[in-house]
C-alpha cells in the first residue's frame, strides 16, 4: 500500500525511534533515503500521515510518532537495552514489492454487465484501495461489489475503495467505493484513476497545462502535483460512487 520510498522512510523512522527515543531529523532522513532535498522528505511524511502510518505531535520539534507499520512487517519485539542517544542503528529496510493496476482487466466484464442489465445489479471486481491523497499502490483483490446496473453505461467497469480525504470537496470521502469506467483518455477536468511512473495509482482531477499534466486534489489542504506527459497514464474515469453509513 506504500511506495518504496514511503516504506523505507517509515521503517527508518520506526527504527530510529526505538533506538534513540526521538524521531530523526530531516537531514538524517534525507541521507538515509539518499534524496537530494528535504522537500522530498516532507512530501513522504505528509503521505504517511494521510495513510495513517505517522502522526506529528503538535508544538514539539522532531516529534513524529509511528502509529502503525505495514501489514507485511513482522510485529515489533521487545529489544535489549536501547542504544545511547544519538546513535541510531544502521538502516536496512525489508524487501518491498509494490503491486499496481497494470491496466489489463478481465475480458469477461462486458458479458457480466449485459447480464446485469437484466438482473438490475452487477458484481464488479474491487481492485483494492486507491489514494485520494498522495499516490499509493492499488492492489488487485478478488473481492466483488454489487453496483446498480442503472449506474453503468457502455464499456468495462471496476471498483476501488478510497483511502484519504484529498477529494473531500468533490464529495469523495475516505472509505467510499468509486466506480470507474475503464479507459485511457479523459476530458480536461475529469476525475480519473491515474498511474504515475508505472508504479503509483491515485484518484485526482486531471488538468492538462501545455505539455504538463496536473493531478489536482479537491481539498485545499493538499497540493496539486504536476508531471511530464510521459509520466502519467489514465486508467479510467470516475462515473459513480457508493457509500455505506
Q: Is 102 left (phi over 0), alpha (psi -120 to 50) or beta?
A: alpha
The confidence score (pLDDT) of residue 60 equals: 52
143: pLDDT strictly greater than 50: yes
Mean pLDDT of 41-57: 83
The better pLDDT of the pair 116, 176 is held by 176
Whole-number percent of the chain with pLDDT over 70: 73
The better pLDDT of the pair 166, 37 is held by 166
Any idea which residue has 500500500 for its cell? 1
Please pick, among 25, 92, 204, 212, the residue that the annotation labels catalytic: 204
Length of the chain: 245
The confidence score (pLDDT) of residue 85 equals: 54
* Of the listed ranges 25-34, 105-114, 157-166, 204-213, the one predicted with least confidence: 105-114
Question: Is 97 a residue of the active site?
Answer: no
Q: How far is the C-alpha of 132 from the C-alpha of 130, rounded, in Å?
A: 7
The cell numbers describing 19, all together, are: 533506538
* Of the listed ranges 22-31, 46-55, 110-119, 223-232, the one predicted with least confidence: 110-119
Mean pLDDT of 48-73: 76
Domains observed in the chain? 4-66 (1.10.10.10), 109-242 (2.10.109.10)
Q: 178, exposed or middle or buried, with CB in 10 Å at 0-12, 13-18, 19+?
A: buried
Is residue 13 within 8 A of residue 29, CB to CB? The reply is yes
pLDDT per residue as tens digits for the range 219-229 = 998 899 999 98
The confidence score (pLDDT) of residue 122 equals: 84
The confidence score (pLDDT) of residue 203 equals: 93
Rg over alpha carbons for the chain, rounded to the nearest Å, is: 20
Question: Is 25 a residue of the active site?
Answer: no
Element counts in the chain: helices (H) and strands (E): 4, 11
Mean pLDDT of 207-213: 90
Is residue 235 within 8 A of residue 182, CB to CB? The reply is yes
Strand partners, 137: none
What would the DSSP string read from start to end of 177-231?
EEEEEE-S---TT-EEEEEETTTEEEEEEEEEETTEEEEE-SSTTS--EEE-GGG
Mean pLDDT of 126-148: 69
The confidence score (pLDDT) of residue 24 equals: 85
The better pLDDT of the pair 19, 84 is held by 19
pLDDT per residue as tens digits for the range 78-88 = 444 454 555 55
Query: CA-CA-CA-CA torsion for 59, 60, 66, 67, nearest 10 degrees?
Result: -30
- The dihedral through the CA atoms of 160, 164, 168, 173 has a sign that is positive
pTM over 0.95: no
Work out the number of other CB atoms within 10 angstroms of the CB of residue 204: 28
Whole-number percent of the chain with pLDDT over 90: 25
108: pLDDT strictly greater than 50: no
Amino acid at each position: 500500500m506504500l511506495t518504496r520510498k514511503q516504506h523505507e522512510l517509515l521503517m527508518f523512522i520506526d527504527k530510529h525511534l526505538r533506538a534513540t527515543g526521538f524521531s530523526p531529523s530531516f537531514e538524517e532522513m534525507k541521507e538515509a533515503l539518499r534524496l537530494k532535498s528535504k522537500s522530498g522528505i516532507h512530501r513522504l511524511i505528509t503521505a504517511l500521515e494521510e495513510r495513517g502510518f505517522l502522526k506529528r505531535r503538535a508544538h514539539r520539534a522532531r516529534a513524529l510518532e509511528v502509529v502503525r507499520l505495514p501489514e507485511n512487517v513482522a510485529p515489533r519485539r521487545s529489544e535489549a537495552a536501547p542504544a545511547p542517544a544519538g546513535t541510531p542503528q544502521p538502516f536496512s529496510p525489508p524487501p518491498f514489492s509494490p503491486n499496481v493496476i497494470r491496466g489489463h482487466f478481465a475480458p469477461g466484464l462486458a458479458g457480466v454487465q449485459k447480464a446485469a442489465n437484466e438482473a438490475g445489479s452487477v458484481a464488479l471486481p474491487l481492485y483494492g484501495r486507491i489514494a485520494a491523497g498522495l499516490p499509493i499502490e492499488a492492489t488487485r483483490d478478488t473481492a466483488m461489489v454489487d453496483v446498480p446496473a442503472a449506474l453503468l453505461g457502455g464499456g468495462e467497469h471496476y471498483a476501488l475503495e478510497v483511502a484519504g480525504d484529498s477529494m473531500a470537496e468533490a464529495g469523495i470521502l475516505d472509505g467510499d467505493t468509486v466506480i470507474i469506467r475503464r479507459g485511457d483518455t479523459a476530458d480536461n477536468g475529469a476525475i480519473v484513476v491515474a498511474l504515475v511512473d508505472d508504479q503509483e495509482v491515485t484518484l485526482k482531477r486531471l488538468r492538462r497545462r501545455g505539455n504538463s499534466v496536473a493531478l489536482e486534489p479537491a481539498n485545499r489542504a493538499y497540493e496539486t502535483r504536476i508531471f511530464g506527459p510521459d509520466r502519467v497514464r489514465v486508467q479510467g474515469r470516475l462515473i459513480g460512487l457508493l457509500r455505506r453509513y
